[in-house]
Structure formats: structure tokens, C-alpha cells
């Protein structure tokens, strides 16, 4: 595993993104060798948080967009994202042209490890607590993609070049404990960050709520694993005992994004416009799936018009995986993201401004997680109310203000009380709420529960096959193959991660 090279990559990225953090820019004279000798915690922390948020908004959003039922491509994008559209595992893990989820995740982990080590040396408990919570977040992501991964022996650089793997289940448990430790440290810290905490401005309560919400998400991943009931009950009790509760706002990162190349909000710059106001290629290439459009229409959902541009008075999507040129699927005949340029200079729903925050975990998702947990009897609270709060939070975010949802939730196919399968109803509304914000969660929910039942790629060579994981990347095979080989069959995308039992 190329941990030293990864370290260079992430710090070079951070040096480009954090203009708002002057300390970071002032000390980073050599972006290839910043390490702890010339970076303060007040520079390292925002760099790490911005990198995590950019990763969520771009790379993870891309995978989840296609594999979570949301996105397809127009004619203009026919040759783009082919490995995802074709479920081509070997291409995805390719060293040069693959999708570097493994490398990006360990990039992020290495940087938080730098924060953690320095925070321990300086007895800066708030910083070490944040680092532990965020490291757990990234380890959860690795397991969700690959199952077994290095944990205890990872992040040691040249001191340990061939780290052993641990089971996905064990990594999940250790990550849960890491969050518990992180919350405890944040709560007792005397020295608190302020503006360098570009997510919660040094609020220990908000960090505790975020940690608890990450825990709840991880516990719900395990909902279908029959031997996890006692563990889940035990961990829910810890959350209750800690007492801070769950998120009451979006967990969103914003260091002060600028209308400058590489310093704009990552979703805006990757999928909408560059700093000159010119549409990027993805703006023409990516389109909503026909299934997504149909679900919006099924629910008479006003978020459709808030998020997308109408074409001749209607909204048009594409078939996921359709690589044949068809005039119906040209960019001009399908619905693009609606941003300020298409909305009389006002913010759109998903595309608001070059300065919009990057969401790591939305309030809408936090409420839907609680709704599902309450429906399962895991936590106190009224599932129907939490479900409604999830919908309300989604509408408020997308309409950029408090929005009246009474007409929407009064529809029989939206009402909670009329649902014969209440878990499915929760997950379906959660799916709509997370569209293009945290797409990757849809892929996880589909693997876990099968909801919503969006179509498979029409380009997959094996009808009915659906990707359930990523293969270990070539970078890892080339440097740590003995340990990779111990994990079993790495030649297919249909091997299941540990919590995927359906």
C-alpha cells in the first residue's frame, strides 16, 4: 500500500482547497513535505474536513449516483463513466483509470492520523476527538465498499508496508468504539477550535450529535444481520447514555469557498460551472434517470422542478447504462441540473452557488435514520413524526427556506399511516431526499433492503447482476497481494460485504 505517496497527494490537495485558512497557506511552503514540522492543527483540521467533504460530494456521489438509481448519461456522455455503467470491476480497480475509493479513503485517514498524532502530542483533546470521529466515518466507507480492510496495521507508513486485514464486522465495531472515544474527548476538551473547525465551529454538542448519528447509520447497516441484535441494543444504550442525541442541522463543511479554480464548492465545480461561469462537461453528460423522474412524478413532488430544467414543459430522464446514441437522450432533450443560470440568478435546489456548503450528512438523512430506528423499536420517538421531519428537512434544504409540505405529505402514497411496509416508505422518501447530495447512501440501502427497486443497468453483460462491492484495487494487489489473496475471491463485484445478507 502506497501510504507515503498517498500522504503527499492529500496534502497537496489540501493546499489548493483551503484559501479561507490563512495559517495553512502561510506555512505550506513545500506542499510535498508539510507533515507536522510546518503545519499547525488549526491548518491541518480544516484541510482534512474540506477533503472529506469534497470526497463525499464528488467521487462517492458519482458512484452512488449511478449505482443508487439516480443518474444516467446523455448522448454527450456516452463514453463517460463506462466502468460504472457496465459494472466493469477490473476497470474500476485499474491503477491508471480506475475509481480510487481505496486510495482516497486512506488518503483521508492518513491526514486525520496526522491530526490525531499531533493532537495527542499537544494534548489537544478536541482535535483528537474530531480526528477519531472522522476516521471512523472513513473506515465505515471502506468496509461498505470492500468488506475486509486493514485497520490496526494501517496508516503506519514505511514502518509497515504490508498491513494485515481485519474483518469488516470487526472494523465496524472498532470504528464505533473510536467514535465513543472521540465524543468523550471532545466533551472534556478545554482548548476548542473555532473557525478552523469548518463544520461545527468548535461546538462539542454538535460533534457529539454528529458522532451519534454516524453510529446510528452504522447500526442500521446491520439491521438484517440476525446475530447483531444484542450488539445493536448495547450500542443504542451507549448513545442514549451519552445523552447528546442526534443531528439537528446538516453536517456541512464550508471554509469560505471562492469563485476561483479548485476553491469553489466541490459539487458546483464538478457538476455545474467553473469559475468563469462556463458549464463543465458533467453538466451535459449527467442526467437524471427515467426512474428518478418517474418517482418524482408519482408523488407530485415539487422538488422535481426545483432540481431540474424542464424540456418543452416536461421533465425528461435517461436510461441508466444505455450507451446507444438516441436523439431522445441528447443533452438538449433531457433535463439538466437547475442552478442559478437557469433560475433567474436565484439558487436552485441541488445547485445553489459556487459558495454552497458541502454536506457530509444531511439533517434529512439524520431524521430518516431515526425514523427507521424508531419503527424498528430501537430508539424512543414517534416514527411518523421523524419521517415527516425528514421530508421537511429535505424540502427546506432544496427550497432554501422553510417550505410548506402539507399537500405533499397528505397524499396517500406519502402518508406514513397508510403504508403497509413502513420501512420501505421511509427508505423511499430518504432516497428522494438524498438525491445528488449523499448518493452513496442509496447504494448501501439498496444492498441492505432492496428499496427502492430501481432498474439495473441495461449495459451489464450479465442480466440481473448488480454490483455489491468494489474489488480490491490494483495498487493494493501490486504492493500487498499476499494479504489481499487471503480475503478470497476478488474477481467479482457480486461478493457481499458483511452486513449485506439479503
Q: In this predicted model, what pLDDT tens digit does every residue of 225-274 receive, in sequence order?
A: 999 999 999 999 999 999 999 999 999 999 999 999 999 999 999 999 99
Q: What is the pLDDT of residue 490?
A: 73
Could you tell me the three cell numbers for 276?
Answer: 468563469
Percent of the chain with pLDDT over 90: 86
Residue 502: name the closest of 436, 441, 453, 440 by CA: 453
Check if the beta carbon of residue 283 is closer than 8 Å to that of residue 337.
Answer: yes
Q: Evaluate whether residue 271 is within a structural domain.
A: no
- Three state DSSP letters for 470-491: CCCCHHHHHHHHHHHHCCCCCC
Give the CATH number for residue 444.
Answer: 1.25.40.390
On the question of pLDDT at 120 being above 50, the answer is yes
User: Per-residue confidence at 37, pLDDT binned at 50, 70, 90?
Assistant: low
Residue 412, SS3 per DSSP: coil
Q: For the CA atoms of 67, 69, 74, 78, what is the dihedral angle to 10 degrees?
A: 20
Phi, psi (deg, nearest 5) at residue 358: -100, 120
Q: What is the pLDDT of residue 325?
A: 85
On the question of pLDDT at 18 being above 70, the answer is no
Q: Evaluate whether residue 44 is within a structural domain.
A: yes
Q: What is the pLDDT of residue 489?
A: 72
Q: What is the pLDDT of residue 376?
A: 98
Mean pLDDT of 279-308: 98
Could you tell me the three cell numbers for 278?
Answer: 462556463
Q: Evaluate whether residue 344 is within a structural domain.
A: no
Q: Evaluate whether residue 353 is within a structural domain.
A: no
Q: For residue 391, give its domain range.
A: 3-256+358-450+468-485
User: Per-residue confidence at 13, pLDDT binned at 50, 70, 90?
Assistant: very low
- Three state DSSP letters for 294-328: HHHHHCCCCHHHHHECCECCECCCECCCCCCCCHH
As a whole number of angstroms, the distance between CA 365 and CA 433 comes to: 8
Tell me the per-residue pLDDT of 297-350, one tens digit each, with 9 for 90 and over: 999 999 999 999 999 999 999 999 977 788 999 999 999 999 999 999 999 999
Q: Evaluate whether residue 207 is within a structural domain.
A: yes
Q: Evaluate whether residue 338 is within a structural domain.
A: no
User: Per-residue confidence at 2, pLDDT binned at 50, 70, 90?
Assistant: very low
As a whole number of angstroms, the distance between CA 152 and CA 165 comes to: 8
Q: How many domains does the chain have?
A: 1
Q: Evaluate whether residue 369 is within a structural domain.
A: yes
On the question of pLDDT at 1 being above 50, the answer is no
On the question of pLDDT at 6 being above 90, the answer is no
Q: Evaluate whether residue 186 is within a structural domain.
A: yes
Residue 1, SS3 per DSSP: coil
Residue 488's CB is within 10 A of a number of other CB atoms, namely: 10
Check if the beta carbon of residue 251 is closer than 8 Å to that of residue 359.
Answer: yes
As a whole number of angstroms, the distance between CA 13 and CA 23 comes to: 16
Amino acid at each position: 500500500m502506497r501510504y507515503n505517496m498517498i500522504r503527499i497527494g492529500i496534502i497537496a490537495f489540501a493546499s489548493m482547497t483551503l484559501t479561507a485558512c490563512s495559517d495553512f497557506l502561510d506555512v505550506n511552503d513545500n506542499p510535498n513535505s508539510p507533515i507536522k514540522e510546518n503545519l499547525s492543527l488549526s491548518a491541518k483540521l480544516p484541510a482534512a474536513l474540506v477533503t472529506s467533504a469534497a470526497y463525499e460530494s464528488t467521487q462517492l456521489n458519482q458512484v452512488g449516483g449511478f449505482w443508487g438509481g439516480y443518474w444516467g448519461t446523455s448522448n454527450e456522455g456516452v463514453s463517460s463513466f463506462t466502468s460504472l455503467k457496465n459494472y466493469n470491476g477490473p476497470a474500476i480497480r485499474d491503477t491508471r483509470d480506475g475509481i480510487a475509493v481505496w486510495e482516497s479513503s486512506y488518503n483521508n485517514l492518513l491526514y486525520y492520523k496526522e491530526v490525531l498524532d499531533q493532537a495527542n502530542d499537544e494534548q489537544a483533546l478536541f482535535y483528537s476527538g474530531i480526528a477519531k470521529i472522522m476516521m471512523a466515518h472513513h473506515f465505515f466507507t471502506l468496509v461498505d465498499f470492500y468488506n475486509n480492510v486493514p485497520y490496526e496495521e494501517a496508516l503506519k507508513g514505511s514502518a509497515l508496508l504490508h498491513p494485515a486485514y481485519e474483518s469488516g464486522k470487526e472494523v465496524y465495531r472498532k470504528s464505533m468504539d473510536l467514535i465513543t472515544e472521540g465524543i468523550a474527548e471532545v466533551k472534556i476538551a478545554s482548548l476548542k477550535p473555532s473557525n478552523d473547525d469548518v463544520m461545527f465551529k468548535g461546538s462539542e454538542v454538535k460533534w457529539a450529535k454528529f458522532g451519534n448519528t454516524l453510529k446510528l447509520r452504522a447500526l442500521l447497516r446491520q439491521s438484517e444481520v440476525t446475530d447483531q441484535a444484542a450488539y445493536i441494543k448495547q450500542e443504542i444504550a451507549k448513545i442514549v447514555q451519552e445523552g447528546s442525541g442526534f443531528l439537528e442541522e446538516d453536517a456541512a463543511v464550508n471554509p469560505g469557498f471562492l469563485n476561483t479554480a479548485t476553491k469553489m464548492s466541490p459539487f458546483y465545480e464538478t457538476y455545474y460551472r467553473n469559475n468563469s461561469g462556463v458549464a463543465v462537461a458533467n453538466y451535459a453528460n449527467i442526467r437524471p434517470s427515467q426512474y428518478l423522474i418517474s418517482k418524482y412524478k408519482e408523488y407530485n413532488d415539487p422538488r422535481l422542478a426545483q432540481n431540474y430544467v424542464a424540456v418543452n414543459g416536461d421533465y425528461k430522464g435517461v436510461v441508466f447504462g444505455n450507451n446507444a446514441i438516441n436523439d431522445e437522450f441528447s443533452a438538449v432533450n433531457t433535463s439538466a441540473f437547475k442552478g442559478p443560470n437557469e433560475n433567474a440568478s436565484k439558487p436552485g435546489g441541488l445547485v445553489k452557488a459556487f459558495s454552497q456548503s458541502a454536506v457530509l450528512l444531511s439533517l434529512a438523512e439524520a431524521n430518516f435514520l431515526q425514523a427507521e430506528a424508531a419503527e424498528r423499536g430501537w430508539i424512543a420517538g414517534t416514527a411518523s413524526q421523524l419521517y415527516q421531519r425528514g421530508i421537511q428537512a429535505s424540502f427546506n434544504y432544496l427550497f432554501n427556506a422553510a417550505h410548506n409540505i402539507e399537500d405533499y405529505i397528505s397524499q396517500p402514497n406519502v402518508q406514513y399511516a397508510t403504508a403497509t411496509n413502513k420501512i420501505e416508505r421511509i427508505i423511499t422518501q430518504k432516497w428522494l431526499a438524498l438525491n445528488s447530495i449523499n448518493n452513496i447512501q442509496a447504494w448501501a440501502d439498496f444492498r441492505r433492503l432492496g428499496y427502492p427497486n430501481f432498474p439495473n443497468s441495461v449495459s451489464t453483460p450479465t442480466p440481473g447482476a448488480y454490483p455489491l462491492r468494489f474489488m480490491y484495487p490494483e495498487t493494493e494487489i501490486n504492493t500487498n497481494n499476499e494479504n489481499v489473496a487471503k480475503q478470497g475471491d476478488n474477481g467479482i463485484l457480486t461478493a457481499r460485504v458483511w452486513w449485506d445478507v439479503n
